[in-house]
Amino acid sequence: MSQARESIILVGGGGHCRSVIDVIEQQGKYQIIGIVDLKELIGQQVLGYPVIGCDDQLPELLERCRTAVITVGHLRSNDLRLKLYELLKDIGYALPVIISPLAYVSQHAEIGEGTVVMHHALINANACVGKNCIINSKALIEHDVQVGDHCHISTASVLNGGVVVADHTFVGSNATSKQEAELTGFIKAGSLAK
């Protein structure tokens, strides 16, 4: 007999939301009850899931579901992700870690609440990833890496051993760091971070 899945609300209905939906479906742990997005989008669907409300309705939606995940991306700025994180915490939502079953996370790594680990990402031993982060598809976080809160480690980027990533940092696709580097701000896609 299959175990009942916990309900979850997704906050943000754009491209990143579609990717997170795929991870949640593959994970099989949560039942998506709907998406919170702009007021004018209520009633529309994202990959078959309804937009059930806007940010202003999050307090009343808590009565239906106590668990949420932020599905707004982080490209130019993480201001919206940070604002939503603080709002959801203030209201009282639980923000679980979402990990694709196609990713590898060492049992000796730590992942903060609200972080999403996408398909084929690898997080090695003694790595620590903060709260409300996106560890995107095929990102490699090596041993002893420290990733701060509210970061986006983009697709196929490589953080080598001992790297420290400051809070709110964006690491672009295919960026590669040398070991024990300190990263902050906006690291361009395809760059070599020293």
Mean pLDDT of the region 43-70: 97
The predicted structure's pLDDT at residue 190: 82
* Cβ count within 10 A of residue 47: 12
Q: Poorest-confidence range of 26-30, 77-81, 124-128? A: 77-81
If we measure between CA atoms, which residue out of 123, 132, 184 comes closest to residue 158?
A: 123
Mean pLDDT of the region 171-176: 95
pLDDT at 72 over 70: yes
pLDDT band per the 50, 70, 90 thresholds, residue 13: very high
Taking only the tens place, the pLDDT of each residue in 118-127 is 999 999 999 9
Helix (H) or strand (E) holding 31: strand 30-36
The predicted structure's pLDDT at residue 189: 87
As a whole number, the mean pLDDT across the chain is 95
pLDDT at 1 over 70: no
Contact 133, 113 (CB under 8 A): no
| Structural domains of the chain, with CATH | 6-91 (3.40.50.20), 98-188 (2.160.10.10)
Query: What percent of the chain is modeled with pLDDT above 70?
Result: 97
d(CA 93, CA 88): 5
What does residue 172 show for φ and ψ, rounded to 5 degrees? -70, 165
The predicted structure's pLDDT at residue 2: 57
Query: What percent of the chain is modeled with pLDDT above 90?
Result: 91
pLDDT at 94 over 60: yes
Contacts of 190 (CB under 8 A, 6+ apart): 172, 173, 174, 175
pLDDT at 10 over 70: yes
* Residue whose tokens read 């906006």: 186
